[in-house]
Chain A
Amino acid sequence: GENVEQHPSTLSVQEGDSAVIKCTYSDSASNYFPWYKQELGKGPQLIIDIRSNVGEKKDQRIAVTLNKTAKHFSLHITETQPEDSAVYFCAAGYGQNFVFGPGTRLSVLP
């Protein structure tokens, strides 16, 4: 089955700096890679996703890149703000059959 690794587990950045979270997956059949943000006391919320026929996708300050050959994908947040502080989860799979990574706790320091 699919196995997803995520690094780092914690990340602290200064406000305005960029943050990068990396994930690797094992199953070459995976073709859908969503990223979820979880704020304290709430359920995860989708922030961006990418499919295997696309190498990069951007939405304002958030971008995701995918390297299918190497089986890794990354989340990039530019110009970080305090409200970006949360736990971020990557996931990999197909359809709704995907596996989540263990999460990255991002802290944006003012």
Chain B
Amino acid sequence: EAQVTQNPRYLITVTGKKLTVTCSQNMNHEYMSWYRQDPGLGLRQIYYSMNVEVTDKGDVPEGYKVSRKEKRNFPLILESPSPNQTSLYFCASSLSWGPSEQYFGPGTRLTVT
């Protein structure tokens, strides 16, 4: 089944404790992206990657890191999480950067206390 998977689905952590949210797609998509979703703000892009070893900042990159060492994986790293990073996070992938459908993962709900 073609899908985007994220782990963990739920995470409660404390301020300053490094964490990684994994994202994997099995569709051989070139483009991958991370979003955060907050009430009343819609989805805001954090980082994106157009291919292996090619990443760039989105609209809200502060406090986040990403890497794209393999085509299928695009982990999101929070080196020192803070409470304002409490949010619902989505990973997405698409065939290419050109206008096309983005496939979203199921989401990761992160709480930082």
Chain A residues proximal to chain B, CB less than 8 Å: 1, 4, 6, 9, 31-32, 34, 36, 41-46, 49, 51, 89, 94-96, 99-103
Contact = CB atoms under 8 A, between A and B. Distances in A.
Contact of A95 (B42, B97, B104, B105): B97
B12 interface: no
A3 B101 CA distance: 21
Given A96-B48, A96-B102, A43 B90 contact: yes
B102 A46 contact: yes
A89 B42 contact: yes
Contacts of A9: 40
B99 A46 contact: no
Contacts of B92: 43
A34 B40 CA distance: 19
Contacts of B24: none
Interface string B70-113: 00000000000000000000101010011111101111000000
A99 B45 CA distance: 8
A89 to B, nearest CB: 6
Given A34-B101, A44-B102, 15 more contacts: A6-B42, A9-B40, A36-B104, A42-B107, A43-B4, A43-B92, A43-B106, A49-B99, A94-B99, A96-B31, A96-B48, A96-B97, A99-B45, A101-B42, A102-B40
